[in-house]
Amino acid sequence: MGSLIAQIVSVTLMNLGSLRRRLWMSLAMVLASAVVVAILLAFLAMAKGFEETMRGAGSSQIAILMREGSSTELNSVVLQDQVNLIGASAGVAQDSSGPMISPELYVIVDGIKKSSGTEANIPLRGLNKAGMDMRTNMRLVEGRLFTPGTNEMVVGEGVLREFDGFEIGRTVRFGKNLWTVVGVFATGGNIFESELWADINIIQSHYNRGNSYQSIRVKLDNDGDLGPLQKTIEREPRLNLEVQTERGYFASQGKQLQYIAVFGWIISAIMALGALAGALNTMYTSVADRAREIATLRALGFSSVSAFCGTIAEALVLAVAGGLLGSFAAFGFFDGLNTSTLGGSFTQVVFSFEMSPELFLQGAILALVIGFVSGFFPAWRAARMPVIVAFRHGT
């Protein structure tokens, strides 16, 4: 007896050779599997891109302090004397002008999205010179920095790209205040590019915050070393603050959008069920179409295992071809595509879809599952096809 593998290979090749007879049905199956995989990848790439954007924002050299129990900057309050105490703490890096500390305010303003023409939130951050210096990957792309004490602001590249009316020289009205855009900055694609920056004192006064802030950023003496700051906080009862590295803060924010990936899997699973129904139909038709051929081969002595495997292989080839097509389509359409979504603080985070080999792997697995499931029952029928079919009349 020749090897079973040789039988399976030749039966598979014959099945593929007969695909032309079922061209449209087979193409429909390829297409359905392509769509399902493309949709899954789009969701996964979105989640991945968001996570990368958030992760990229964080530095382990910077500590961020917020009121105890505040998960985001928006619902935190920090007072001036707390800022002073932290500034005097051990563990904070110094430069020529003293401790590198940036008390910051973070308010929400409205902008009009270019894509939809609808209003969406943009964070307006008040910070000082040290705050900008701390963001080491920050660079001015165009124009200049805002002058402290004026209604000037600089815009992140993401905001400029996604929203109307933030070009240099434009005057923008938020509430009853007019602001002038004087520069555009980039921070290497991370979340800060989705923000507007202005002088901290001006924002305090325009938004009636008195002497309060929402967060404090400090540059750490030693990379990642929060120890001295934590000691200061423990010792001083007035400091009801939590300290974490900026990296840790953003990483936990980025995880929030993991639900997109889960959602993507759910949507794709539902769509995969639809695709499966079509694929099953295609494969049953294939078996019916090949009935005489299957039976003839069985009469010649080909095993039922080869009939089974040949059919499964056909289904896998079609589904995986679709998976590849879907992957390339998703890659072509989505990789690097910019979009924005509601971030952790109900503001728009501008980020890019990000494709990666591990996403393709997930797409491939989905395609294989579609192929296998849609091939299994028809293959079972093929394997149990009565050989006497070969002798039946009619062509």
**Is there binding between residue 14 and another protein (CB under 8 A)?**
yes
**Cβ closer to another protein: 255 or 292?**
292
Q: Which two tokens stand for residue 333?
A: 């359409």
Q: Which two tokens stand for residue 331?
A: 């890659």
Among 201, 244, 252, 296, the residue binding another protein under the rule CB under 8 A is 296
CB of 380 to another protein, least distance (A): 14
For the residues of 299-360, what is the DSSP string, one character each? Answer: HHT--HHHHHHHHHHHHHHHHHHHHHHHHHHHHHHHTT-EEEEE-TTSSEEEEE----HHHH
CB of 393 to another protein, least distance (A): 7
**Is there binding between residue 300 and another protein (CB under 8 A)?**
yes
In b/e form, how buried is each residue of 137-151, taking b as 16+ CB within 10 angstroms?
A: ebeeebbebbeeeeb
Listed ranges 1-9, 24-32, 43-51, 326-334: which one lies at the site for another protein (CB under 8 A): 1-9
**Is there binding between residue 303 and another protein (CB under 8 A)?**
yes
**Cβ closer to another protein: 221 or 293?**
293
CB of 286 to another protein, least distance (A): 13
CB of 21 to another protein, least distance (A): 8
Among 23, 301, 357, 358, the residue binding another protein under the rule CB under 8 A is 301
**Is there binding between residue 387 and another protein (CB under 8 A)?**
yes
**Cβ closer to another protein: 166 or 302?**
302
- DSSP structure class, residue 100: -
Select from 13, 32, 19, 81 the least CA-distant residue to 272.
Answer: 32
Among 256, 304, 339, 341, the residue binding another protein under the rule CB under 8 A is 304
CB of 307 to another protein, least distance (A): 11
**Is residue 56 a contact partner of residue 249, using CB atoms and an 8 Å limit?**
no
**Is there binding between residue 18 and another protein (CB under 8 A)?**
yes
- DSSP structure class, residue 78: B
**Is there binding between residue 291 and another protein (CB under 8 A)?**
no
Among 302, 308, 334, 353, the residue binding another protein under the rule CB under 8 A is 302
Among 248, 293, 339, 376, the residue binding another protein under the rule CB under 8 A is 293
Among 22, 48, 298, 381, the residue binding another protein under the rule CB under 8 A is 298
- In degrees rounded to 5, what are phi and psi of residue 300? -70, -15
Rounded CA gap, 49 and 54, in Å?
9
Listed ranges 207-215, 226-234, 244-252, 298-306: which one lies at the site for another protein (CB under 8 A): 298-306
Q: ∠206-210-216 over CA atoms, to 5°?
A: 100
Dihedral Cα 62, 245, 125, 199, nearest 10 deg: -30
**Cβ closer to another protein: 4 or 140?**
4
CB of 26 to another protein, least distance (A): 14
Rounded CA gap, 132 and 134, in Å?
5
Among 97, 149, 357, 393, the residue binding another protein under the rule CB under 8 A is 393
**Residue type at position 104:** E
**Is residue 348 a contact partner of residue 194, using CB atoms and an 8 Å limit?**
yes
Binders of another protein: how many residues, by CB under 8 A? 25
Listed ranges 60-68, 167-175, 321-329, 386-394: which one lies at the site for another protein (CB under 8 A): 386-394
- In degrees rounded to 5, what are phi and psi of residue 165? 85, 20
Question: Most distant CA pair in the chain: distance in Å?
Answer: 98
The β-bridge relationship of strands 94-95 and 62-67 is unpaired
Neighbours of 208 (CB within 10 A): 7
Rounded CA gap, 126 and 103, in Å?
8
CB of 368 to another protein, least distance (A): 26
Q: Which two tokens stand for residue 122?
A: 């943009």
Among 103, 299, 378, 381, the residue binding another protein under the rule CB under 8 A is 299
**Is there binding between residue 6 and another protein (CB under 8 A)?**
yes
Helix (H, G, I), strand (E, B) or coil at 12: helix
Give the x/- contact pattern for another protein in 317-356, rule: CB under 8 A: ----------------------------------------
Could you list the residues that contact another protein (CB under 8 A)? 1-2, 6-7, 10, 14, 17-18, 292-293, 296-304, 387-388, 390-391, 393, 395
